[in-house]
Amino acid sequence: MHNNAINNALCALIVMGVSGSGKSTIAAALAERLGWPYEDGDKFHPRSNVEKMKAGHPLTDADRLPWLQAIAAEIERIGKSRQHVIIACSALKRSYRDILVHGRHDVRLIYLDGNRELIASRLAQRKGHFMPPELLDSQFKTLEIPTPDEHAIAAAVDASVPAIVEAIVQKLNAALGGNDVGS
């Protein structure tokens, strides 16, 4: 498995999108493909946030701030130790992504792009997750699609997991000037 351009240029990938877009699944598969550790951004939420979401209430920006700062601190720690990590995190607003990336050139966003109908059908089938399907509309309302200056890689989520992961790796290598897209 050759991913030298990615390994040499980046310390972190943030797999982002609305709930149900496949962040955890794609991030875990991408981590396996690259040989990087995977962290679920949800584990950085304070307990109060999890309880609020379980109760069906959307988080406010004030609720999200300590969560985003905790993830940013983990990225900083990983970068300083010259390691790698892939983190699944909704990162719906530009201001949230600015906190996470905080000007680092060795962090890239992977935006999982899917339509509301596909994602709603996935959420309806999901069991045991704290994010109720009723909050999907608020997620799409909050979503600010990454702009070109954020250097995000967009990945359509209407394909198989291996196909999505391979497309992400190819796009990352192309963006970083690498040509080592073989598996």
Residue 182 located in a structural domain: no
Res. 131 pLDDT band, cuts 50 70 90: low
Is residue 102 in some structural domain?
yes
Backbone angles phi, psi at 5, to 5 degrees: -60, -45
183 in any annotated domain: no
Helix (H) or strand (E) holding 108: strand 107-113
Q: Is the dihedral of CA 49, 52, 56, 59 positive or negative?
A: negative
**End-to-end alpha-carbon separation of the chain, Å?**
5
Position 18 in a domain: yes
Q: What domain range is 142 assigned to?
A: 4-176
If DSSP codes are grouped into helix, strand and coil, which group holds residue 81? coil
Q: Would you state the structure tokens that stand for residue 180, as one six-digit string?
A: 């080592």
- Choose between 116 and 161: higher pLDDT: 161
The confidence score (pLDDT) of residue 139 equals 84
Give domain status of residue 95, yes or no: yes
Q: What is the pLDDT of residue 9?
A: 93
In a domain, 157, yes or no: yes
Give the other-Cβ count within 10 Å of 169's Cβ: 23
Q: Answer whether residue 48 shows pLDDT above 80.
A: yes
Percent of the chain with pLDDT over 90: 70
Domain membership of residue 20 (yes or no) is yes
- CA 103 vs. chain centroid, Å, equals 17
The mean pLDDT value for 41-62 works out to 88
Which CATH number does the domain housing residue 45 bear?
3.40.50.300
46 in a domain, yes or no?
yes
Task: Give dist(CA 7, CA 36) in Å, integer.
Answer: 9
More confident residue, 102 or 131: 102
Total domain count for the chain?
1
What is the per-residue pLDDT across 61-78, written as a single tens digit (0 to 9) for each?
999 999 999 999 999 999
Contacts of 3 (CB under 8 A, 6+ apart): 33, 34, 35, 169, 173, 178, 180
Report, as an integer, the average pLDDT of 25-44. Answer: 96
Residue 182 has pLDDT above 50, yes or no: no
| pLDDT score for 136 | 76
